[in-house]
Amino acid sequence: MTSPTWNNPVVKWIEYRLPVFSFTQDHLIDYPTPKNLNYWWNFGSLAGITLTIMIVTGIVLAMHYTPHVDYAFESVERIMRDVNYGWLIRYVHMNGGSMFFAVVYIHIFRGLYYGSYKAPREMLWIIGIIILLTMMATAFLGYVLPWGQMSFWAATVITNMFSAFPLIGEPIVTWLWGGFSVDNPTLNRFFSLHYLLPFVIFALVFLHLWALHVHHSNNPLGIDTKGPQDTIPFHPYYTIKDLFGLGVFMLVFLGFVFFAPNFFVEPDNYIKANPMQTPTHIVPEWYLTPFYAILRAITFDIWFIPAKLIGVIAMFGSVLILVLVPWLDTSKVRSARYRPIYKQVYWFFLIDCIVLGWVGFNSPDAMFMGAVSFLRIGQVATAYYFLHLLVVLPVLGKLERPRSPPESISAAVTKDSDTVTEAA
């Protein structure tokens, strides 16, 4: 495609030295996009906008926040009470974290359904997983900052995980803490890192989009675009569609902010941190509970490896293993629409992840309906999590007989127009 030539002399002068105008034209306006993307493709732009909201509100909060064990809790309450619209800024940032994960999880499960991770989009996918890891670290660090009971004890439990490693474990924990317990030096470095990581995510998103723009978006049919008849320019078609999606998203997001701002928080975090008093049960935020469930599912030593270490490895492994999904899935067909069996195990895997999240909320020895302990449910769900990725995906790709996808997007689109409804 050819960019228009500009006549304005200032524009021309800049364009010759730094081609921002043609870049914008090529990547945000003319950028050819499959014409059959459904609403699940809105979540990438929503993730980007949420990241921006988090950075902006976070910077304002940092102007009023005091990273000191004696003042952190109080300074947050001052933001809520005395800073102009401080309550709004804080509630947006607080609920924004949950919204960010909700959006990114949907974004990832969209990718899993339509096989967006397959060649040639493996790099795009891998960068996505690194983004997810960085997000988890950022959210954990941020949760410590208000210095409530859950902040303190989550910090203690999670940093203590590293003590599971033989020999180096204890020194690592001391090094992370900057002392011999979670204390002021810990809070200070957590604040510093919580401010840093979102900008790392920003840079990673840039790489993510760079990779996206090399091979362009996948689409619900999971087939390559064959020519201009299959695509439409990004603007105005997807700018307006993304804007409409943003409106719906903001209704949900701000619905929480204004009318149920503490929906996602544990009441214990409104109690100031107290190292002498352990809360009855320590739970992370909902978006980390699946991984917490995996961590706690391992209660048995294997040979000479202690249970705790296996738990830590399983937890980190459960995220890192996603990097291998493009190779674990051996099917050549991208979209689940044309994979009758994958389509079913996909939902089973999704439910498994939700079960893990629910287990992570409950104490392992609590009983579900008096019949089975949450520990046992967590163990079965953890086993299935890895089974799905390590066994079902590779074997299914070999055994399943996929239906044949249509020749091209334009051929399929003129035939049926159910592209939006099916994915739901």
Cβ-defined contacts of 119-125 (< 8 Å, 24+) = 119/326, 120/214, 120/215, 121/211, 121/212, 121/215, 121/218, 121/326, 122/326, 123/211, 124/208, 124/211, 124/212, 124/215, 125/323, 125/325, 125/326
Concatenated DSSP letters for 158-206? Answer: HHHGGGGSTTTHHHHHHHHHTSSSS-HHHHHHHHHHHHHHHHHHHHHHH
CB-wise, 9 or 247, nearer to another protein? 247
CB-wise, 50 or 156, nearer to ligand HEM? 50
CB 41 to another protein: min, Å: 14
285 is catalytic: yes
Exactly one of 118, 121, 339, 388 binds ligand HEM (CB under 6 A); which one? Answer: 121
Asked if residues 36 and 409 have their Cβ atoms less than 8 Å apart, the reply is: yes
308 is catalytic: no
CB 417 to another protein: min, Å: 8
Q: Is 107 in the site for ligand HEM (CB under 6 A)?
A: yes
Asked if residues 329 and 335 have their Cβ atoms less than 8 Å apart, the reply is: no
Q: Which does 193 bind (CB under 5 to 8 A by kind): another protein, ligand HEM, none?
A: none
CB 270 to another protein: min, Å: 4
CB-wise, 139 or 212, nearer to ligand HEM? 212
Choosing from 151, 217, 331, 335, the catalytic residue is 217
217 is catalytic: yes
Q: Is 208 in the site for ligand HEM (CB under 6 A)?
A: yes
Phi, psi of 232 (to 5 degrees): -130, 155
Q: Is 111 in the site for ligand HEM (CB under 6 A)?
A: yes
**The tokens of 302 are what?**
């294997």
CB-wise, 354 or 372, nearer to ligand HEM? 354
Query: Which span (69-77, 118-126, 353-361, 362-370) binds ligand HEM, by CB under 6 A?
Result: 118-126
Q: Is 217 in the site for ligand HEM (CB under 6 A)?
A: yes
Query: Which span (44-52, 70-78, 227-235, 288-296) binds ligand HEM, by CB under 6 A?
Result: 44-52
Total interface residues for ligand HEM by CB under 6 A: 27
- 89's CB contacts (< 8 A; 6+ apart) are 57, 60, 61, 79, 83
CB 87 to ligand HEM: min, Å: 26
Choosing from 213, 226, 281, 332, the catalytic residue is 213
Q: Is 405 in the site for ligand HEM (CB under 6 A)?
A: no
- Residue 67 to residues 85, 89, 173, 269: CA-CA distances in angstroms? 21, 18, 20, 16
Phi, psi of 387 (to 5 degrees): -60, -45
Asked if residues 111 and 128 have their Cβ atoms less than 8 Å apart, the reply is: yes
Choosing from 285, 318, 335, 388, the catalytic residue is 285
Give the number of other CB atoms < 10 A from CB of residue 115.
24
- 245's CB contacts (< 8 A; 6+ apart) are 39, 42, 45, 46
Q: Is 221 in the site for ligand HEM (CB under 6 A)?
A: no
CB 151 to another protein: min, Å: 13
416 is catalytic: no
Half-sphere exposure of 129 (CA within 13 A, CB side): 19
Q: Which does 403 bind (CB under 5 to 8 A by kind): another protein, ligand HEM, none?
A: none
Q: Is 337 in the site for ligand HEM (CB under 6 A)?
A: no
Choosing from 241, 266, 329, 388, the catalytic residue is 241
Give the number of other CB atoms < 10 A from CB of residue 303.
4
**The tokens of 290 are what?**
């699946």
242 is catalytic: yes
As a 3-state breakdown, the chain gives helix, strand, coil percent values, each rounded to 5, of: 70, 5, 30
CB 298 to another protein: min, Å: 11
- 412's CB contacts (< 8 A; 6+ apart) are 36, 221, 405, 406
- 398's CB contacts (< 8 A; 6+ apart) are 330
Q: Which residues bind to another protein, rule: CB under 8 A?
A: 35, 74, 77, 80-81, 87-88, 91, 232, 236-237, 240-241, 243-244, 247-248, 250-251, 254-255, 257-259, 261-262, 267-268, 270-271, 280, 299-300, 365, 373, 413-414
CB 162 to another protein: min, Å: 24
Question: What's at 384, amino acid-wise?
Answer: Y
Asked if residues 288 and 297 have their Cβ atoms less than 8 Å apart, the reply is: no
| Interacting residue ranges for ligand HEM, rule: CB under 6 A | 41, 43-45, 47-48, 51, 104, 107-108, 111, 114, 116-117, 121, 124-125, 128-129, 131-132, 201, 205, 208, 212, 217-218
Which residues are designated catalytic? Answer: 213, 217, 241-242, 285
